[in-house]
Structure 1
């Protein structure tokens, strides 16, 4: 007995969505890891503010990682869980030590641009396959991220 037996989604459609979610999971795992490094290594006059903000961001990313992985499971997939696998496919790359606030914020904007693009692609695949639940989950992610982009661009202005 499988969850997908009860969801009313064709296996072919669910498989296509899982593929996109696996990509998103890998991207989020690298995003999360880089955020931890930014949190640890930030320096400068904005240290207290940004240190706390980056912790907020990585806590939020960790929640999203869990939601993505659970959605993969609901759709009959098995979420990748080896970091070596994430490194092979993630569009977000590892960073070295970065301490400059402006450089970090620009990297975050670049990462969010990539995450948003993958989420939109996954929403399209999910919508075409009748998977409203995945589309809804990721639409919620988008609203949050668009506000974060606005705030980060304001910071750099």
Structure 2
């Protein structure tokens, strides 16, 4: 399910940012990515995303990240290690998988991510988990 088709797009204030490689939705506490079919997520794409959120990083804002994998694409797991070494603004991550293969890939990525990474079977599960993290629970109330 796409974020814009979910109940959360009506419950949460968000901003939609479109890139050539996919769409990002930013909320107060987390970001949802929906990347295009067949792309390969490499350092160039991650760098473009980081530059878009550099103001948040400089301000010390902590956020969560949800990869809503509605499309099939490849991802370099090593990027999680590089990312963790360079940046410290992400509290946790959730990967929403819609196929067994995608779920297996997220299991591999979990070994590379140094913070909490939850593998989910639905966008609802990912958002509920993210909004119930202690860091956000005090401020986020969903109806």
TM over 0.5: no
Q: Report which structure shows greater RCO (CA 8 Å, sep ≥6).
A: 1
Structure number with bigger Rg:
1
**TM-score bucket of the superposed structures, by smaller chain:** under 0.3
Question: Per residue, is there more strand in 1 or in 2?
Answer: 2
Question: Per residue, is there more helix in 1 or in 2?
Answer: 1
Give the alignment's TM-score, normalised by structure 2.
Answer: 0.25
Give the alignment's TM-score, normalised by structure 1.
Answer: 0.24
